[in-house]
Structure 1
Amino acid sequence: MLQDILSGIPLGVFLAFMVGPAFFILLETAAIRGFKAAFTFDIGVILADIVFIFIAYFSTNQLLRSIKDDPGLFIFGGGVLTIYGLIAYIKAKNATYTDADFEVQKLKRKDYLGIVAKGFLLNFINIGVLGFWLGLLIIFGPSLEMEASRLVIFFTSIIVTYLLVDVLKILLAKKLNNKLTPRRITLFKKGISFLLIIFGLILILRGLIPKEIEKIEKNLEDVSYKVDSF
């Protein structure tokens, strides 16, 4: 049991620092809306991860591979993310901010539900996340003898570690709230929106030209390996 927990902790830390749409939205939410809103958003992200874990566990490898590599899903997810980023950019560009925008406001129940849904959907449309959990199951499943209790402990340790690291990220990002000005908050939102558009386009390209994208990623990994070795 202890060995399964210890095996999951480094993966949880790695997952917390994976750069993706949810990563940047989490930091934005923490900086602008405060700890509770960011933590609620993170719960939505984790719920999507849990759904992916269940899909990976209860589906056959053949079905999972066909879903994971389906270009249509990458194009759909990338399109949704790109449109979301464009809308967010336009809103940030046209918005005017007052001092009230820098004060953490009390959230209502419907606000929490909306933030959870936002975190869930932003993570769920990224089909690459399913590939990540499938990869972990394929790599670590045999060493855990595919025993349900051990898998639960292993994946729970990953999720809990991920959540704890995210709490630290939220606390650090929350400190930015005191330094926000109307100009900075506009630039911050525009920057996050631009990154979402970039991630969306990457997903679309992964669906349209998967082999070329894989070659680029492999070349980047080779360069990174050579730099680390040097």
Structure 2
Amino acid sequence: MIAPLMKGLVLGLILSISVGPVIFAIIKQSLANGHKAGYTFVAGVSASDISLVLVCNVFTSFFTTALSHSNAIAIAGSIFLIGVGIYTFFFKKVIVDEDNKIEIKKFRKRDLAGIFLSGYFMNMLNPAVFLFWFAWTAAITGDAASTPNPNQYKWIVFITCLVFVLLSDIAKVALAGKLRERLTPTILHRINKLSGLILIGFGIALIWGVLNFGDQLK
């Protein structure tokens, strides 16, 4: 029981501190739109991870097919990141109230659905996330084969990992929420510009990786 818990915690730590577009998007979403939007975005990311774990373990043939199209997924993901980055850099506005303070936006259900889906697909379309779950699923399945209850071992690892990542993402939103109270519209505007550049940079790097190392993803 201790071994799969420890392995799940280690995997969760690796995934939660990995530098990628998602971690910046979580912080930006929380700073720009508040904790409600941040938690909704995190829910989308978590749902994406759960989907990938299920696909890796239950629908292996589907995952193998998806992995064979990893270049197309990477290109789609990079275009998505670049598009979000361009919107954030050029068109994202900071809404202020009558006192020139950052206004707390009221979200409609469809707004929250859009934020949820953006988190879901930003994570899902990242080929690094695909490869992470594929590699570790294979490794964990091999470890589980030598235990009395292989399925129990696997699911303890994955559930521990997913819960750890979710809690760490929630902590990021909470921390960003505290910082948001001290932000001025000017600083938030600059953060939006920086976030846009970061997302565009990740998108370009992803395309460059596909063009130069695409065969290694297959």
TM range (shorter): 0.7 to 0.9
Distance verdict in 2 for CA 1:170–1:134, change over 3 Å: same
2:156 equivalent in structure 1 = 153
Q: Distance in 1 between matches of 2:52 and 2:108?
A: 29
Superposition pairs of residues 40-59 of structure 1, within 5 angstroms: 40-57=40-57, 58-59=59-60
Equivalent position amino acid for 2:29 in 1: T
2:189 equivalent in structure 1 = 186
Contact 1:141 1:151 in 2 (8 A): yes
Q: Distance in 1 between matches of 2:79 and 2:30?
A: 26
**Deviation larger for 165-174 or 106-115:** 106-115
Contact 2:80 2:122 in 1 (8 A): no
2:117 equivalent in structure 1 = 117
**Deviation larger for 179-188 or 56-65:** 56-65
Distance verdict in 2 for CA 1:144–1:19, change over 3 Å: same
Tell me the TM-score normalized by structure 1.
0.81
Contact 1:32 1:104 in 2 (8 A): no
* CA deviation map 1:102-147 (0-9, x unaligned): 2433433323222211110111111221101011112222111293
Contact 1:26 1:41 in 2 (8 A): yes
Unaligned runs of 5+ in 2: none
Q: Distance in 2 between matches of 1:195 and 1:173?
A: 18
Q: Distance in 2 between matches of 1:154 and 1:209?
A: 34
Contact 2:88 2:196 in 1 (8 A): yes
How many residues are matched? 210
* CA deviation map 1:179-200 (0-9, x unaligned): 2222111110011111100110
Equivalent position amino acid for 2:102 in 1: F
Q: Distance in 1 between matches of 2:72 and 2:107?
A: 37
Q: Distance in 2 between matches of 1:36 and 1:142?
A: 40
2:96 equivalent in structure 1 = 98
Question: Aligned to 1:209, what secondary structure does the other structure show?
Answer: helix
Tell me the TM-score normalized by structure 2.
0.86
Distance verdict in 2 for CA 1:29–1:211, change over 3 Å: closer
Q: Distance in 2 between matches of 1:103 and 1:140?
A: 47
Deviation of residue 73 (structure 1)? 2.5
CA RMSD for the aligned pairs?
A: 2.4
Q: Distance in 2 between matches of 1:96 and 1:81?
A: 21
Contact 2:77 2:122 in 1 (8 A): no
2:167 equivalent in structure 1 = 164
Contact 1:71 1:206 in 2 (8 A): no
1:9 aligns with 2:12: no
Q: Distance in 2 between matches of 1:18 and 1:39?
A: 19
Distance verdict in 2 for CA 1:2–1:132, change over 3 Å: same
Q: Distance in 2 between matches of 1:82 and 1:34?
A: 23
Q: Distance in 1 between matches of 2:168 and 2:94?
A: 33
Deviation of residue 206 (structure 1)? 1.5
Question: Aligned to 2:181, what secondary structure does the other structure show?
Answer: helix
Contact 1:82 1:201 in 2 (8 A): yes
Deviation of residue 36 (structure 1)? 2.2
Unaligned runs of 5+ in 1: 215-230
